[in-house]
Amino acid sequence: MALASDLSPSLMDELKRAIAERGVVIYDDYDFVPVAQVPSSLEPLLGKELPVRPLAVAVDVYGTLLASAVGEIGPVADWDGPNEPSTETVATMGTAFPHDLAERLRRIVAADHAKEREHGIPWPEVDSPSVFARALDLEAEDGARACVAWECAMNPCSAMPGAAGFLACCADRGMPLGIVSNAQFYTPLFIEAAFGTTLFGVPGLGIDPELALWSWETGRAKPDSWMFAELARRLALRGVPVNRILYVGNDARNDCAAAGEVGMMTALFCGDARSFKPRLDDSAALAMPPTVLVQSWDDLRRIVCT
C-alpha cells in the first residue's frame, strides 16, 4: 500500500482544486468565530506577559491556525454526537460511501495504533489514504481522493481571524516560524486554500519548511512530546534556546503540556469555542499549565510584537 508521500503531483493538483472548491469557508471581516468562555481556574493566565520575548514561534493547526467544524482531522476525528456523519451527509460527497464508514475507519485506526504501540511508539499516527483505501477496498490514489472528499464534507475549514496578521508580525521581526501538528498530507493544502496564499516563505504565511513537523510524516502524534523535542533541536542549531520558543495551540494537554515538557513557553488559544480544550481534569495539563491564555490572535500579537 503506497503512502501519502508517494502520491503523484497530478493527483495532488487535483486534490488541491477539490479542497479549494469544497473544503474551505472564506470569512470576511464581519464574520464571527465564537470565543470560548474562560474557565475560572485559567483566568489569571489571560493576557499574561511572557517571561521573556520569544525568538521563534511555532503553531498548531486545527482549532488554532484553522477554525474547523470538528477541530480534529480525518479518521481520528471525533464524530460522536452532532458530528456523527449521516447517510444524507456522506451522499453529498460525490462518492457512494457506506453508512458505516466512520466505524470502519475507527476499527482500522485502532488496529494500526495498537500495532505501532507494540513497537514502542506511545502516540502513533496513521496514514489517511491507506486507512480509507482499506476501509473501502480501493487503490492508494482513490483512497487519497476518498479521504479528501470525506474531510471536505465533514470538516470544512476557515482561516482563524487574525492568524495571518500575527504570523506576518513575527516574520517582520525575523522570528523563525514553525508548525507542530497532528495532521494528514492534505493539511497544508487546506491551510493554503483557507488563507489564499502559500504556507512556506514570504510572501506567504512565512512558515519555514525545515521547522514544520507533521504527525503523518513523523509517525508520532501529540501529546507525544517527540515532535516538540525535534523542533527544539532544529532551532538550537540556529542558536535559539528552547526557553525562547513560543508554541501556540488550543489543547492544554496535547499542545501546551507536551510543548512545556521540553521547556517551551506556551500560549493556550481559546479563540474558538468549538475546539478549545482546557483539559481541566487532566493530570498532565494540570502539572504543566500554559504560560499564557489568549482569546484571539490579535491579543497574542500585542503580547509578542509590542
pLDDT one-digit tens code per residue, 100-134: 999 999 999 999 999 999 999 999 999 999 999 99
- Compute the distance between CA of residue 221 and CA of residue 235 in angstroms, rounded to an integer: 20
DSSP string, 186-213: THHHHHHHHHTS-SBSTTTT-B-GGGEE
- Compute the distance between CA of residue 276 and CA of residue 64 in angstroms, rounded to an integer: 9
Residue 73 pLDDT greater than 70, yes or no: no
* pLDDT given at position 97: 86
DSSP β-bridge partners for residue 294: 269
Q: How confident is the model at residue 1 (pLDDT cuts 50, 70, 90)?
A: very low
* pTM summary value: 0.92
Q: What size, in residues, is the chain?
A: 306
Average pLDDT of the chain to the nearest whole number:
91
CA distances from 252 to 58, 78, 126 (A): 15, 17, 23
- 205-292-301 Cα angle (round to 5): 35
Of 149, 209, 217, give the one whose Cα is nearest residue 3.
Answer: 217
CB-based contact 276:63 (threshold 8 Å): yes
pLDDT one-digit tens code per residue, 251-268: 999 999 999 999 999 999
Q: Which CATH class is domain 22-72+157-305?
A: alpha beta
* Per-residue exposure over 1-35, b if at least 16 CB sit within 10 Å of its own CB, e if not: ebebeebeeebeebbbebbbebbbeeeeeeeebee
- Compute the distance between CA of residue 268 and CA of residue 20 in angstroms, rounded to an integer: 29
| Residue ranges covered by each domain of the chain | 22-72+157-305, 74-154
CB-based contact 261:288 (threshold 8 Å): yes
Cβ atoms < 10 Å from Cβ of 207: 24
Cell 490572535 locates to 297
CB-based contact 159:168 (threshold 8 Å): no
pLDDT one-digit tens code per residue, 144-177: 999 999 999 888 999 999 999 999 999 999 999 9
- Compute the distance between CA of residue 68 and CA of residue 285 in angstroms, rounded to an integer: 23
- Compute the distance between CA of residue 11 and CA of residue 17 in angstroms, rounded to an integer: 10
Integer-rounded Cα Rg, in Å, for the chain is 19
CB-based contact 262:227 (threshold 8 Å): no
